[in-house]
Amino acid sequence: MNCIYLLWLLQVKRYIRSRARIFASLGQPLLILFILGFGVEPIFKKAGQGSYIQFLSPGVVGMALLSTSVLSGLRLVWDRQFGVLKATFVAPEPRILVMFGRTLGGATIALVQGLITMVACLVAGFRPAGIDRLPIALIFMLLIALMFTAMGTAIASNLKDLQSFQLIMNFLVAPISLLSGALYPLTDLPLLLKWITRLDPLSYGVDGLRGALSGTYRFGPWLDLAVLSICTLILLGIGGYLFSRIEL
């Protein structure tokens, strides 16, 4: 536990010291929230779908969680490239604990970024159905953060340079975000797209968040929780395995 706590604390300390990183990773979700949110709001209302800000906000929080989580993998590639990882690997602690500590740290940072985004959503006019729903929303946020931090770790464990990681992330993050239902409702989609969206684990995260905050689920809370928990466990397993096989 000591090792997990230390590695968690290290990630959190680095995050607090990097103000540029805090603001930079908030940029994209806030742009979507304020530009797309207010831009589409009138059309959405005209179409009889209610408030777009109300619909979009849980999706934007999910996107903020996704991008911050996978970016923790970038930190791993950085630490590997610049030697920091070696110092941890020669310590008398099992690598799996090092991986868990780093993943928890990355997930905590993503959770904080998600909460900051949530505050921005409140400023933009989003109103949750009730305060009592926030703990359930927090559970979904934590699961999304853990799942995608583990995915970032798994991918980063196989890469040695920052450029490759950036390319893979761009290739992955955009489709995962766009297919998750964060920006548009997943109803009445063409059949193929409908099935693809169901294969996207973030769809269940966004649905869980949206359901927890507004009370309307598409897949249902238990299915959302089950898919997210299983995916998180699988990705933690894969991430742990690949991390333990890193050769420096």
Partner 1 sequence: MIAVSHLTKTFGSLVAVQDVSFRVGKGEIFAFLGPNGAGKTTTVKMLTTLLRPTSGRVQIDGLDTIRHAREVRRKVGIVFQDTSLDGELTAYETMDFHGSLYRVPRNFRAARIKCLLNLFELWERRDNQVNQFSGGMQRRLEIARCLLHGPEIIFLDEPTLGLDPQTRHRLWTQVIELNQQERVTVFLTTHYLDEVERVADRIAVIDHGKIIAQGSPAELEEQTASDTLEEAFLELTGSSIREERSSFLPRMRKMAKITGR
Binding site for partner 1 (CB under 8 A): 2-3, 6, 10, 13-14, 17-18, 79, 82-84, 86-94, 160, 247-248
CB-wise, 88 or 166, nearer to partner 1?
88
Q: Report the 3 state secondary structure along the chain.
A: CHHHHHHHHHHHHHHHHCHHHHHHHHHHHHHHHHHHHHHHHHHHHHCCCCCHHHHHHHHHHHHHHHHHHHHHHHHHHHHHHCCHHHHHHCCCCCHHHHHHHHHHHHHHHHHHHHHHHHHHHHHHCCCCCCHHHHHHHHHHHHHHHHHHHHHHHHHHHCCCCHHHHHHHHHHHHHHHHHCCCCCCCCCCCCHHHHHHHHHCHHHHHHHHHHHHHHCCCCCCHHHHHHHHHHHHHHHHHHHHHHHHCCCC
Minimal distance in Å, beta carbon 214 to partner 1? 39
CB-wise, 89 or 184, nearer to partner 1?
89
CB-wise, 45 or 86, nearer to partner 1?
86
Minimal distance in Å, beta carbon 237 to partner 1? 22
CB-wise, 6 or 189, nearer to partner 1?
6
CB-wise, 34 or 89, nearer to partner 1?
89
Minimal distance in Å, beta carbon 149 to partner 1? 19
Minimal distance in Å, beta carbon 85 to partner 1? 8
Minimal distance in Å, beta carbon 80 to partner 1? 11
